[in-house]
Amino acid sequence: MLPLQDIRVLDFSTLLPGPLASLILAEAGAEVIKVERPGSGEDMRGYPPFLDGESGSFAILNRGKRAISLDLRAPGAAASLLALAPTLDIVLEQFRPGVMARLGLGYEAWRAANPRILYCAITGYGQDGPRADEAGHDLNYQAGAGILALVAGADGSPGVPPTLAGDIAGGTYPAVINLLLALRRRDRTGEGCFIDVAMAENLLTFQFLGLAMGQGAGLWPRPGAGTLTGGSPRYRVYGTADRRHLAVAALEDKFWQAFCEIAAIPEALRDDRRDAQATAEAVAQAVASRDAAWWEAALAGRDTCCTLVRSLEEAVRDLHFAARGVFSRRVEIPGHVLPALPVPVVPALRTPAVSAPAPRVGEGNGAIMGAPEC
């Protein structure tokens, strides 16, 4: 038995945070029903790559789900959806605060129809507070949580992060965690609840060291200065002779000493407490004296916490990921098959379906709503 195979989810969310959350629930066995606008469907359907007119980005985020299409502002739309309430366990949405209530689909309406419903709202800044109605995207949440300030380049300007940490770490994962906790509580009490997921504030969890240093000792982190933000020679990225890069994270002394031996760092510079900058310069010079292939061979089988920086294409082809079957699952698009998006659900708790389709707009209208597909 899959852990969520008796759970039914009605998902109003779009783009990334909510759809990825419902994908994780679906992979654990839940039945997920997407609610989309008629015609074009949700916004992610307009994102590349396009395979015979179908979005690959949409497909990998919506593998194995069902879909209905409905104009939420149309007369009777709210009533037709609320009629599903007795069959639902979870309602997931991503609108700004108050939007669902104005549509007649807020938490109170769902609770009146089914007191056991878990209602999860993912927003940038939460359901209340002075910034609750402020528009934003991932970059805004990372900026507001003090993360961007710590990734400034040589000119002092922060770069654009390559990962959507606000959406996934601040939105998707907290939503899934709290929904699972709420399901556990409901098992004991029979009560549903409202779950307020605020992406910006959830990113503060990732600042644990900076918060401890700043609030405990008044030493607020600065770019290039902290142990984990470039201030330590033991935790930096160094350039190789062939313009590749080596990620050195040898924080513990046993790893650091092993790396220094391979890199032939002079004994006088291995104690980086004496002159961290001099040690960093020596390491940079040593790494730059050899190409990436030399470093890969020299570090193989040695405990140093050092890794060559790989491109995404190289990572996808990594033998370790292949051996663990990370990309062994598939998502079906008419005429095409793509590797499914890896999600953090272990095989024992995940649907055994190796291949599953992404839904078409409104394909479930008849079976779910008793209405024609649109």
Q: What are the boundaries of each domain within the chain?
A: 8-204+325-369, 245-308
Q: Tens-of-pLDDT digits for all 374 residues of the chain?
A: 999 999 999 999 999 999 999 999 999 999 999 999 999 999 999 999 999 999 999 999 999 999 999 999 999 999 999 999 999 999 999 999 999 999 999 999 999 999 999 999 999 999 999 999 999 999 999 999 999 998 876 677 888 999 999 999 999 999 999 999 999 999 999 999 999 999 999 999 999 999 999 999 999 988 888 888 888 999 999 999 999 999 999 999 999 999 999 999 999 999 999 999 999 999 999 999 999 999 999 999 999 999 999 999 999 999 999 999 999 999 999 889 999 999 999 999 999 999 999 999 999 999 998 876 65
User: Is 137 assigned a catalytic role?
Assistant: yes
Put simply, whether the predicted model's pTM sits higher than 0.85 gets the answer: yes
- The two tokens of residue 129 are 């507070």
Record the tokens describing residue 26, joined without a space: 């679906």
Q: Which one of 11, 89, 138, 167 is the catalytic residue?
A: 167
Task: Write the CATH number of the domain with boundaries 8-204+325-369.
Answer: 3.40.50.10540
CA distances from residue 220 to 153, 249, 362 in whole angstroms, order as listed: 18, 22, 51
Annotation says 245 is catalytic: no
Active-site entry in 89, 137, 320, 336: 137
- Among candidates 194, 135, 120, 205, which has minimal Cα distance to 170? 205
Find, among 197, 168, 199, the residue nearest to 90 by Cα: 197
